[in-house]
Amino acid sequence: MPRRRLLRFALVALLVTFLQGVAVGGEDTMKAEIVSQYKAVLNSTSGCFCGLPPPCQSPKEFTNIMHHGAVGDGVNNDSAALLAAVEVASRPSGRVLLPANKTFLIWPVFLARPDLSICLQGTWLAPRMADYPALACPSADSTCVSETNRTPEEQRMQQAYITISTKHFILAGNGTIEGQGTDWWDLRRAEPSIFAPILLKLLRCRFCKVLGLTLRNSPFYHCSVVDSRHVALKALDIYAPESSRNTDGIGLFRSQVGPEVSTHTKGLYAFLCKTSAASKTRVPPNPRAQPRR
């Protein structure tokens, strides 16, 4: 089935499911502007990369994480190697490489260095729920919720696996960020008040880009953009199976994403794009897209 037809089918299926939920469960009606966001993103077929995206096309100029102690077997913890590579990468414009055919098990990370590009060609692997560090605010019933002025949605946004909070930052490549969310979904199905981490969060970012990656099996939302401006999300594959829970593709919160958003889903069980009223997304006219290889 052609991708555009598949994406249109996904939109119809999602809207029907949502409207049924509204009729049965009494949830808030989806705003017309959010519906238009879905249509705009689904209609955008621009930005598919054949090969590596431009920031990853000169690998010899990168600081290779393997040269700083990474094992890349998906078992040993490569967090220290990633942070070391980020620290020693050339300044002012550093580049870090996570090479292909390797799986890097990395604990939750907060990246704040400006003027940095990370090229992901392999797999960036989150720890399983049993090994995941304790969340600062584990559930909606915790005192950390009642003692703040944040809404439940804002409180959920505090938990993230990869947080980028800086300016002029690029995360790109043809690799995968794997969230290993299965156990989180099972837990949240039994205990809905439990919080689970977002796979990738852009927080107070300026001029940041996420390009070409696959985001898979997030414990919660796959990508959230919070209090950010001039952010580009391009040619992202987002996948979550039918058994997933609250695995929205992209959430925009008080943010401006542009000049383009270009994503598609491999599964039909996650909302592709979710916005808050204060967010803005600008999607350009659709150039003729080449198929992704």
pLDDT tens for 4-30 read 555 555 555 555 445 554 444 444 444
Instruction: Give Cβ neighbours of residue 168 (< 8 Å, ≥ 6 apart).
Output: 114, 115, 116, 206, 207, 208
In the predicted structure, residue 154 carries a pLDDT above the cut 90: no
Residue 29 placed within a domain: no
pTM for this one?
Answer: 0.74
Residue with the larger pLDDT of the pair 51 and 36: 51
Beta strands in the chain (DSSP E): 63-64, 73-77, 94-98, 103-105, 109-111, 116-120, 123-125, 160-164, 167-172, 176-178, 198-203, 206-211, 214-216, 223-226, 229-239, 250-253, 256-265, 273-275, 280-281
Please give the average per-residue pLDDT across 28-50, as a whole number: 43
Residue 269 lies in a domain: yes
Least confident of 171-175, 212-216, 217-221, 247-251: 247-251
Pairing between β-strand 160-164 and β-strand 198-203 as defined by DSSP bridges: parallel
Higher pLDDT, 284 or 271: 271
Q: What mean pLDDT, rounded, does the chain reach?
A: 77
* Residue 208, strand partner residues: 169, 231
CB-CB neighbours of 189 under 10 Å: 12
C-alpha triplet 231, 129, 65: angle, nearest 5°: 55
Give a yes or no: residue 101 inside a domain. Answer: yes
Whether 20 maps to a domain, the answer reads: no
pLDDT of 37 > 50? The answer is: no
Phi and psi, residue 240, nearest 5°: -155, 140
Q: Is 99 contained in some domain?
A: yes
Residue 291 lies in a domain: no
Q: CA-to-CA distance for 288 and 96, rounded, in angstroms?
A: 32
- Whether residue 293 is predicted with pLDDT greater than 60 in this model: the reply is no
10-14, 20-24, 223-227, 247-251: least confident range: 20-24
Q: Does residue 251 sit within a domain?
A: yes
* Domain interval for residue 219: 47-134+149-281
* CATH number of the domain bearing residue 98: 2.160.20.10
Residue 187 lies in a domain: yes
Whether 116 shows a pLDDT value over 90: the answer reads yes
The count of domains in the chain is: 1
Please indicate whether residue 185 or residue 293 has the higher confidence score (pLDDT).
Answer: 185
Name 106's bridge partners. Answer: none
